[in-house]
Homo-oligomer: A and B are copies of this chain.
């Protein structure tokens, strides 16, 4: 399970999408976990792709039934990860990508720390963070102000992540995230099947 987190506007959603596209071509398709949220859909967003947009009472029912792997309240809206699709993907041997905040990440740690690889994305500067939020031009000034205020607190949590990528240029940041993914897949502890492979090599000698 690969987790990408960042303050709003630092680029985690763009990087997630690039990663899913790349892995599609590589033949090791990722399962991208699509969160449920009670916040309003932005014009560019697509139901079921960026989020499942659901009403508050349905969110609360899912949460109370234990149907969410993690959930958090951010800027007055709820966000959560439906449990079933993730568990199905993992059972099928697929890696799962999460685009969630630090609160969700800590909840994933609690449930399965060893299987989680977490990456925190930082903006190169606050000027750039503001520019990206304004360029998006889909949120009201009000919302942008709230997001910037939130960013300060969110950034505090960089120190709870395994890796940190500074998103100065998206191609470079993407290469970094891809290297993390490729390297983690080469970790001995994630490859129990190698024991048999080595035993076979040894018996051929």
- Chain A, residues 178-205, CB within 8 Å of chain B (1/0): the string is 1110111011100100110110011011
Q: Are A148 and B182 in contact (CB under 8 A)?
A: no
How far, in Å, is A113 (CB) from chain B's closest CB? 15
Q: Is A175 an interface residue (CB 8 A)?
A: yes
Q: Which of B151, B164, B176, B188 is within 8 Å of A188, CB to CB?
A: B164
Q: Are B191 and A164 in contact (CB under 8 A)?
A: yes
* A contact face: mostly helix, strand, loop, or mixed: helix
Q: Which residues between 102 and 149 of chain A lie within 8 Å of chain B, taking CB atoms?
A: 119-120, 122-123, 125-127, 148-149
How far, in Å, is A85 (CB) from chain B's closest CB? 27
Copies in the complex: 2
A179-B182 contact given A162-B187, A201-B155, CB 8 Å threshold: yes
Q: Is A79 an interface residue (CB 8 A)?
A: no
How far, in Å, is A25 (CB) from chain B's closest CB? 15
Contacts of A149 in B (CB 8 A): 205
Contacts of A205 in B (CB 8 A): 126, 148-149, 151-152
A163-B182 contact given A197-B122, A198-B122, A202-B156, CB 8 Å threshold: no
Q: Which of B120, B183, B191, B195 is within 8 Å of A183, CB to CB?
A: B183
Chain B residue at minimum C-beta to C-beta distance from A163: B186
A165-B186 contact given A155-B202, A198-B158, CB 8 Å threshold: yes
Question: What are 13 contact pairs spanning A and B, CB under 8 A?
Answer: A119-B186, A122-B197, A122-B201, A152-B202, A155-B198, A158-B188, A161-B188, A163-B183, A164-B188, A164-B191, A165-B186, A166-B197, A179-B179
Give 3 nearest A-B pairs by CB, closest first: A183-B183, A179-B182, A126-B204
| Beyond known contacts A155-B201, A164-B194, A176-B186: 18 more, CB 8 A cutoff | A122-B194, A122-B198, A122-B201, A148-B205, A149-B205, A152-B202, A159-B195, A161-B188, A163-B187, A165-B186, A166-B197, A175-B182, A176-B182, A176-B183, A179-B182, A180-B186, A182-B183, A183-B184
